[in-house]
Structure 1
Amino acid sequence: MILYIAEKPSLGRAIADVLAKPLRKHEGYIEAANGDCVSWCVGHLLEQATPDAYDPQYKSWRAEHLPIVPQQWQLLPEKGSRTQLAVLKKLIKQADQIVHAGDPDREGQLLVDEVLSYLGTSSNKQSAAQRLLISDLNPQAVSRALGQMRSNREFVPLSTSALARSRADWLYGMNLSRAYTLQGRKVGYQGVLSVGRVQTPLLGLVVRRDEEIAAFQPKPFYEVWAQLQCDNAVSFRARWQPSDACRPWMDEDGRVLAKGLAENVIQRITGQTATVAALESKPKRLAPPLPYSLSALQIDCNKRFGMSAQEVLDTAQALYERHKLLTYPRSDSRHLPQAQFTDAAEIIAVISKGATELLQGCEPPDAKRKSKAWDDSKVDAHHAIIPTRKVANLAGLSQRERQVYLQVARQYLAQFYPHYQYLETQVQLQIAGGLFVAKSKQEQQLGWKQLFRQEASHDEEEALAGSLPPLSVGQQLQCVNGELLEKVTQPPKHFTDATLLAAMTGISRFVSDPQIRKVLKDTDGLGTEATRAGIIELLFKRGFLQRQGKSILATAAGIGLIHSLPDVATTPDMTAQWESSLEAISRREMKYQAFMQPLLQQLTELVSQAQNSLPTALSGIKNQPRSFRRTGRKTTSNMSNRADKNNKAQANSGQRVRHQARPKPGEAKPDV
């Protein structure tokens, strides 16, 4: 008997649907006609033991206990999971062959591997286990995946990386949350100060941005534009480029701060001859945007529809599990395997039939055209999010489901259009000894942009409208007059869901160490695709963040917490290094102990530092008890068990931390 172990019932049912019929449904599993069985983990079946499981004295939060470091890590059944664990244990004993069908990512790999180990699966069965990677729940895709199974042993480094992440997060969050909560009580703050290696640096980004805005002092600056006229009376504008001699009157960004200087330039150029000093026209090509990863989809849906990151994840999950219209949504890849190119014509036909509005007024897509999205070297366990080969009934979807589906479908269609082509022209002019520059952009071939015309930005429309007349080097024109534009420097904008997600994915921009920044450009950023939305929502639930319209701001408690912590805990440098190391483990470039040992040493130092300082920034700030209330199993009807776990539990690292410690009654789960 072959036993398939899926991560969730929805995936288990999808596998069973392509097995030998008739199917027999049992409690906790499905049996095929040939005796093969499909069971599942219902998301999380196991969790890491709480500190008091290692020693009863740890039930009380006391400074002298810290740091708590388990010598032998223990896993315990999640509440309500014993029945399913018993089903799996029985089936594993009966099975001749085990197929690991966890979700196609790092944490999905660990989830099933831990269950196999916890239930005492024989080493022979574990060694012979196969790995089934499914990213599309439709029968054709599942059948194809069954024909492409690999040895589960190939994925041991992936599982080890997730295990290191889970344990490191437990150690960091559990110990520092206790340490700072105890210190907070000494200054009158009675809430739980949850500290996490991703949650807290993320909060730090928001706090520092808010403070930068509050401290911002606006300054006026000035631009000079020359109104130029050709012999045939055609006119255009060119902008003054201040010389080095003007630097004493400019800021570090090259803006002129002295109004008198700008006014003097206008007086000098009005009525003068302008000479074309240089002229350059370059044909430019812009490739279609790649298909979506989860973060890229969340960013675009926030910008276009105002959806929160969690709302996009929940909606995409529903389109994957319930409607089977999208492939696996928790993907960090924006590329597709070469083998899937053969599906292109069918998927295009499906989109054309179910989402006709996307192609209205557009040339038909060319299914034979292959963009740079198809690249096996950039695809591992999962690929970009794309539509499946199932025709969408848009009328049967909610508004949000419809919006997300169309967004993904359009991005896929873009792969089958030519590059967007335009001619970019720049002319340099000399007027009374000063340099002026005019630019224009002339469309030559819309290509993939014909799918996106309704979203053309104001800047793009302005650039296209400002075309230049035919010019030649040495040609002389008339400067009719100069125009002075007075502007004011603007503060940075508050974070939104879109910009905060972009900051998490491009975290190297916020890292101070140049060496770390260089390394981070090739890593996944702060957190993972599957948990970034959960981390943002978690900070709201804990009372550290608040919304003002689309803007995300820190609360007084959030600001006080960041000001009470050492910089290493509030900046992304440390967690960024963790991500780099964890990725190295998954690539067999680093050992588990090489990651854990330095971490334990640093943890001891951080706990000592916490115990030797008082968080005075939290004095007088009331805690927010509602932020730490435990939530129920379902947070929204569309959320999967794993997403619920991320929001309910601390998930402080931005990862799908699977095993949490339970606090005493009335206390929050500390970060792990």
Structure 2
Amino acid sequence: MRLFIAEKPSLGRAIADVLAKPLKKQDGCIYSADGDCVTWCIGHLLEQAEPERYDASLKKWSIDRLPIIPEQWQLVPKSKTRKQLKIIKSLIKQADSIVHAGDPDREGQLLVDQVLAYHGVKGARAKGVQRLLISDLNSMAVRHAMTKMRDNNDFIPLSTSALARSRADWLYGINMTRAYTLQGQKVGYQGVLSVGRVQTPVLGLVVERDRQIQRFISKPFYQVEAVVKQQGGQSPSFRARWQPSKACDPYRDEQGRVLNKGLAENVCSRISGQVALVSKLDKTLKKQPPPLLFNLSALQIEANKRYAMTAQQVLDNCQQLYERHQLITYPRSDSRYLPVDQHAMAGQVSGAVAANIVELNCVVDEADLSLKGRCWNDSKVDAHHAIIPTARKQDVSALDKPLRQLYELISRYYLAQFLPSYAFNETTVELEISGGVFVAKARQEVELGYKKVLPDRGHQQEQTLPALAQGEMLSCIDAKVLEKATEPPKPYNDGTLLAAMTGISRYVSSDAIRKILKDTDGLGTEATRAGIIELLFKRSFLQRCGKNIQATEAGKGLIASLPVSATSADMTAQWEAALNSISERESSYSGFMTPLQQSLFPLIKEAKATLPTGLKGVKVAKPKGRRRSTTAKKITRSART
């Protein structure tokens, strides 16, 4: 018997649907006519043991027993899914061969690997396990994936990376949460201080942004705008902006803005009615290729901008589109690229989009399906590829509005790959007026290209310039001083906070760490970022003010109480880089875990010497209907990220 172990029931059903019929459904599994069997996990069937599992005395929180470092790591069955774990154990004993069909990501790899190890699959039997990578639940895509199964041993580094992350999060979260919760009690704070290597730096980003806004003092600055026209012609006027010379530096701030109103007024009075000489003229044809396809974070950011969806709403709706409706591929992807052989599906996928969204018919008709742009790149794809529509045809008008919006957005980005680049002429004119330099810019559209399917959000019409020649004399017919004011940073919203998490190198204070970070490194993973943000809301560390996200008093107090290493992005960004390095076979499990374990001792020593006075007087609402001990246990479980 060949046994397929899927991560979720929906994936298990998709696999069974392509096996020999008739199918025979049994408790927790499905048999095919030729004897193959499909079973499934229900998410994680196993979880890290709590500290008291290692030592019963650790159930009582004591700062003198920290740090807690297990000598032999233990996994325990989840109580709600214990029955399914037993069913899988029985099927493994009967199986002649095993196919790992976890989701195509780091967590999906570890999830099934741990079940196999827990049930004693080792040696030659473990070496024979095959890996089935499915990103599309439609039958045709599943059949195709089954022709390309790989050796599961190829993914050991990915699984090891996930294991290191899981254990490291346990060590850091359990020890830091216990230490600071106990210290918090000494200043009268009665809540559990959940500390995690990802959630706490994310909270730190928000607290720091709130501080910047609160401390911001607006300052006026001044610009001079000249209104220029060709002499004796009928062409429309255009605007040019003054470029202060080096002599103006004493009157400018570090961003180059002029702070002296008198200086600006003097320039304005000198240029009005004067000749404007075209001293430099540059006209360049530029081409802009279609944007890359979506990974989950990019989709969450764009959907927040367009539709004000939260990160969690995007993830939840995408899971429905993937599992229930089978209209998109695997949504928890961190890749924005497609394998080259997927290009052969372009006709079927675009045809399905045309059938599902009537208004995109004209775009599909115009699309050149032979185009193979930068998104098709095998070197950028491993376990999973970018999120794209599937070849499934379905009346999407019957879907809920958020589902329709996301499906259409994903479809438009896919179709954009088969349209030409957006082409435009960019013209820059430099003018000399009364000894001062003024610059005017304009963009003239040449080819709309992919923007036929991806129109700009809130695009502002740029000015047009008449046909000009270098050395031409123009007239400055008017001039005015524009009085403006510096603005504080904007509060975070779901989209900008996600962008900060994915582009974490901008917030890393250490130049050395910034240098080792890659474009793909960030706070958390594609699968966890939305959950981390929501967790901070559940812990009452964050709150929503309209579309904005702000820290609560408890959140501010927690960050003020912790060492900088716990609240900044440096440490966790370095972790993510190290975990990626493990998955890419560039470093080892022990090379990551040993220094981490050693770092716990000074961290706990520092916690013991610190009283979190920032939380003095801050009250925490107790969860309704739950005993504090139960709540504390659940909070410390979630503290691990």
Q: Distance in 2 between matches of 1:629 and 1:478?
A: 77
2:252 corresponding residue in structure 1: 250
TM-score by length of 2: 0.97
In structure 1, which of residues 467, 483, 502 is the aligned counterpart of residue 464 of structure 2?
Answer: 467
1:635 corresponding residue in structure 2: none
More displaced stretch, 509-518 vs 439-448: 509-518
1:641 corresponding residue in structure 2: none
Contact 1:309 1:497 in 2 (8 A): yes
2:428 corresponding residue in structure 1: 426
1:569-588 matched pairs, under 5 angstroms: 569-588=566-585
The one-letter amino acid paired with 2:529 is R
Contact 1:542 1:626 in 2 (8 A): no
Contact 2:413 2:454 in 1 (8 A): no
Q: How many residues align?
A: 636
2:128 corresponding residue in structure 1: 128
1:286 corresponding residue in structure 2: 288
What is the deviation of 1:494? 0.2
Could you tell me which runs of 5 or more consecutive residues in structure 1 were left unpaired when the two chains were aligned: 631-661
What is the deviation of 1:510? 0.4
Q: Distance in 1 between matches of 2:16 and 2:519?
A: 39
Contact 2:158 2:583 in 1 (8 A): yes
Q: Secondary structure at the match of 1:98?
A: strand
Contact 2:306 2:457 in 1 (8 A): no
2:203 corresponding residue in structure 1: 203
In structure 1, which of residues 508, 520, 523 is the aligned counterpart of residue 520 of structure 2?
Answer: 523
The one-letter amino acid paired with 2:404 is R
1:312 corresponding residue in structure 2: 314
- 2:640 is equivalent to residue 669 of structure 1: no
TM-score by length of 1: 0.93
The one-letter amino acid paired with 1:123 is G
Q: Distance in 2 between matches of 1:351 and 1:198?
A: 38
1:507 corresponding residue in structure 2: 504
Contact 1:663 1:669 in 2 (8 A): no
Contact 1:192 1:668 in 2 (8 A): no
1:395 corresponding residue in structure 2: 397
1:476 corresponding residue in structure 2: 473
Q: Distance in 2 between matches of 1:483 and 1:571?
A: 45
In structure 2, which of residues 492, 495, 498 is the aligned counterpart of residue 498 of structure 1?
Answer: 495
1:332 corresponding residue in structure 2: 334
Q: Secondary structure at the match of 2:290?
A: coil
Offset from partner CA, 1:123-156 (integer Å, 9 cap, x none): 2211100000000001000001111000000000
Q: Distance in 1 between matches of 2:466 and 2:86?
A: 79
2:76 corresponding residue in structure 1: 76
Contact 1:31 1:38 in 2 (8 A): yes
1:457 corresponding residue in structure 2: 458
Q: Distance in 2 between matches of 1:456 and 1:575?
A: 34
Offset from partner CA, 1:565-608 (integer Å, 9 cap, x none): 01000011000110011111111111111001111111111111
Q: Distance in 2 between matches of 1:365 and 1:627?
A: 56
The one-letter amino acid paired with 2:49 is A
Q: Distance in 2 between matches of 1:122 and 1:413?
A: 46
More displaced stretch, 360-369 vs 222-231: 360-369
Q: Distance in 1 between matches of 2:140 and 2:380?
A: 24
Q: Distance in 2 between matches of 1:473 and 1:264?
A: 27
- 2:450 is equivalent to residue 448 of structure 1: yes
The one-letter amino acid paired with 1:457 is G
What is the deviation of 1:522? 2.8
What is the deviation of 1:44? 1.1
- 2:589 is equivalent to residue 623 of structure 1: no
More displaced stretch, 432-441 vs 120-129: 120-129
The one-letter amino acid paired with 1:593 is S
Change (3 A) 1:387 1:196: same
Q: Secondary structure at the match of 1:277?
A: strand
What is the deviation of 1:321? 0.2
What is the deviation of 1:278? 0.4
Q: Distance in 2 between matches of 1:533 and 1:443?
A: 38
Contact 1:109 1:155 in 2 (8 A): yes
Q: Secondary structure at the match of 1:613?
A: coil
- 2:568 is equivalent to residue 567 of structure 1: no
Q: Distance in 2 between matches of 1:38 and 1:541?
A: 37
Change (3 A) 1:76 1:362: closer
Contact 1:424 1:441 in 2 (8 A): yes
Q: Secondary structure at the match of 2:454?
A: helix
Change (3 A) 1:362 1:412: closer
1:5-16 matched pairs, under 5 angstroms: 5-16=5-16
Q: Distance in 2 between matches of 1:393 and 1:562?
A: 49
What is the deviation of 1:456? 4.3
Q: Distance in 2 between matches of 1:74 and 1:663?
A: 22
- 2:611 is equivalent to residue 614 of structure 1: yes
What is the deviation of 1:664? 4.6
Q: Distance in 2 between matches of 1:456 and 1:131?
A: 42
Q: Distance in 1 between matches of 2:248 and 2:14?
A: 69
Contact 1:542 1:624 in 2 (8 A): no
Q: Distance in 1 between matches of 2:13 and 2:633?
A: 38
Change (3 A) 1:67 1:456: closer
1:79-98 matched pairs, under 5 angstroms: 79-98=79-98
More displaced stretch, 219-228 vs 160-169: 219-228
Instruction: Report percent identity of matched pairs.
Output: 59
What is the deviation of 1:393? 1.2
The one-letter amino acid paired with 1:587 is E
What is the deviation of 1:396? 2.3
Q: Distance in 1 between matches of 2:90 and 2:373?
A: 48
Contact 1:284 1:421 in 2 (8 A): yes
Offset from partner CA, 1:483-521 (integer Å, 9 cap, x none): 111111110100000000000110000001112112224
Q: Distance in 1 between matches of 2:363 and 2:127?
A: 56
Q: Secondary structure at the match of 1:221?
A: strand
2:357 corresponding residue in structure 1: 355
Q: Distance in 2 between matches of 1:452 and 1:155?
A: 37
Q: Distance in 2 between matches of 1:591 and 1:336?
A: 29
More displaced stretch, 444-453 vs 621-630: 621-630
Offset from partner CA, 1:279-335 (integer Å, 9 cap, x none): 000000001011110001101111111100000000000000000000000000000
In structure 1, which of residues 534, 537, 550 is the aligned counterpart of residue 534 of structure 2?
Answer: 537
1:24 corresponding residue in structure 2: 24
